[in-house]
Amino acid sequence: MASEFYIGKRLSFDERLCTVRYIGEVKGTKGTWLGVEWDDPIRGKHSGEHAGTRYFQCVRNHPTAGSFVRPTRKPDPSRSFVEALKAKYASEDFEDPDVEVVFVTKNDKKERLVQQNRPVRISGKEVEEVGFDKIRKQLAELSELKFVILDGLRMSRPVASRKESQNPSEWNGWPTGLKDVSDACPKVIELDLSRNLFEEWREVVSICEQLDKLKSLRVDGNRFRDTTLTETEKERARAAFRNIKAVKMEDNFLPWDQVAEVTNLFPQITSFVASSNFYTTLTDDILNSTITDLTFEENSFHSFSDLISLTKLPNLRRLVLKSNQISEVTNTDALPVFSPTLTELDLSYNEISSWAFIDKLVHIFPGLTSLRVSHNPLYNSLRAADGRALSAEDGYMLTLARLKNLKTLNYSPITDKERLNAESYYLSLIAREVTFAPRNQEEQILATHPRYKELCEEYGEPVIKREDNAVNPNSLAARLMRISFHQGKDDSGQLVGAPFEIEIPRSSTVYTVLGLVGKHYGFAPRRCKLIWETGDWMPATGASDSIDGDSASESGEDGENRTADKVKGESVMREVEIVPGTRSIGTWIDGREAFVRIEHS
């Protein structure tokens, strides 16, 4: 068993891939067990621990990634490259619907004589019929395949694998002159070897060195236990990978130093993907300097300091950091600065929550012209200086206004008109923020807007009208409204009953306000009508007719009073009926104080 199983061996049970992490006994049981880590973490039952004892550690930190299986359990058989190729592209017999079989009788036996093409005609013109069977037939022509996807086919390559027990100094490499791959599919341009049973990087090299036209390689989900190569093997690898420009190594869980070393085996690599590898920080090991497009989706970076080694890539143009946990610019005193060649950056689905982070992007990425930053907490609860909520569109405008060199934001090209509108809007918000703040905080506020002086030079300095009794927009008072309710006035002009005053959030619905009023006065809310007395006076309709004619000729005290009343009646107060509904009371009433009359039926 010692020669058959070893730590790092790749196995498959019931089409589920796993890696041996432990060989030995388990307390409370008899015999030997294999402790395996499943590629699919929900397949197992534990994390390598049993009855309080840890027997092995899973690479993936998941509570059900591990299991114990008996060595006598028969694994699924592995496949060679050619076997996997045939299983994927030429596994079934088929009949071509475009071929007609003709039989003749000869010596009292029916024999197959010829096959004739049966043309299809539409409107008198002969056309070619391309059906499912015909497509399969074309795919079955393995020697013509250019795009080969062999993921999840239990592939291994023992001919290029060094035995675990073999001394590395005694390993002379895999045989030269192999032609099994090139004879089967010599024209392959893109190759996907993901999620198979490979254990060593030399297995991949031995396949690729037979494909002279190969330009793209994908090895996601393989669990390599050994990526080291001898100097001779490295030369063979560089020759094998000489034309490959795009490499994907997602979900491999390889240490960063090994990943960096692997990329340097590809002389012309320009695009590299290392997503879903649970990286939290990168060591000083440097990737191949030829890389221009780099993707690190779904890792666990928290700041740009975790990516400091990437600042040494002189040709990097595009960096994708989508779905990480980035929330801060740096966790050290030094500010990381990337190559000015980097123009495209994707920070969507992270934990960015401050505008200070956005402002510093121009210093970290001096060449940045294209940014994706949607789906971050910063844009979920935007508010202006006066406390009002801002929309996602406002967030878009404020982002491009803060980053003067942007040409594309969230995949949308920025027009000159959009930039003009955004920067003018941003400048007005800065002025409003200063307006609502105490005078001694003005300098501090402007310091949080690095582009303020530049925008003032471009559009002119905004006029700031500061109110001495202005309310801090970030305080609770800015979100509250004081309302005095009354039931109208009697004939003498006195209020009927004592007024009812409350302070409520501006976001309270009209239904909520009616409920409070009804409860206080003992009225049914549905029978109450709310009238906001705005305090604004406006000309009364028909007022000029009421003081002409006979009424103006009346004399005496009564006549003089009636005339005075009518002169006063030339203007009436504007009133607004507040309609019951789910709209907030703040959308009906302007200001922070109001008088509302209650009419009850």
Ordered by where they begin, the domains of the chain are: 9-69 (2.30.30.190), 381-472 (no CATH), 479-539+569-600 (3.10.20.90)
- CA-based nearest residue to 201, from 178, 226, 220: 226
Residue type (1 letter), 497: G
What stretches in the chain show pLDDT beneath 70?
1-3, 91-140, 163-171, 385-387, 466-478, 538-570
Q: What is the pTM of this model?
A: 0.71
Residue type (1 letter), 429: L
Burial (Cβ within 10 Å: 0-12, 13-18, ≥19) of residue 189:
middle
Note the pLDDT of residue 44. Answer: 92
- CA-based nearest residue to 273, from 246, 254, 253: 246
Q: What is the dihedral of CA 384, 385, 386, 388, to 10 degrees?
A: 10
CB 9 within 8 A of CB 20: yes
Compute CA 85 distance to the chain's CA centroid, rounded to the nearest angstrom.
Answer: 35
For 115, the 3-state DSSP assignment is strand
Residue type (1 letter), 32: T
CB 585 within 8 A of CB 575: no
- The 10 Å Cβ neighbour count of residue 266 is 23
Residue 491, CB half-sphere, CA atoms under 13 Å: how many? 0
Q: Catalogue the E-assigned strands of 352-430.
A: 370-372, 408-409, 412-413
DSSP H helices, 220-322, are 231-240, 256-263
Residue type (1 letter), 18: C
In the block, residue with structure tokens 């409204």: 481
Question: Residue-wise over 514-552: b if at least 16 C-beta within 10 A, else e?
Answer: bebbbeebebebeebebebebeeeeeeeeeeebeeeeee
Note the pLDDT of residue 487. Answer: 87
CA distance 169 to 175: 16
Note the pLDDT of residue 555. Answer: 38
CB 387 within 8 A of CB 411: no
DSSP for residue 37: E
Residue type (1 letter), 464: I
Q: Quick one: CA dihedral 255, 259, 260, 264, positive or negative?
A: positive
Burial (Cβ within 10 Å: 0-12, 13-18, ≥19) of residue 234:
middle
- CA-based nearest residue to 433, from 393, 390, 399, 403: 390
Residue 135, CB half-sphere, CA atoms under 13 Å: how many? 3
User: What are 67's strand-pairing partners?
Assistant: 36
Note the pLDDT of residue 348. Answer: 97
- Over the Cα atoms of the chain, what is R_g? 39
CA distance 75 to 61: 25
CB 351 within 8 A of CB 326: yes
Q: Mapped to the 3 state alphabet, what secondary structure does 165-206 carry?
A: CCCHHHCCCCCCCCCHHHHHCCCCCEEECCCCCCCEHHHHHH
CA distance 242 to 266: 6
CB 118 within 8 A of CB 98: yes
CA distance 413 to 369: 10
Q: How many distinct helices (H) and strands (E) make up the chain?
A: 14, 26
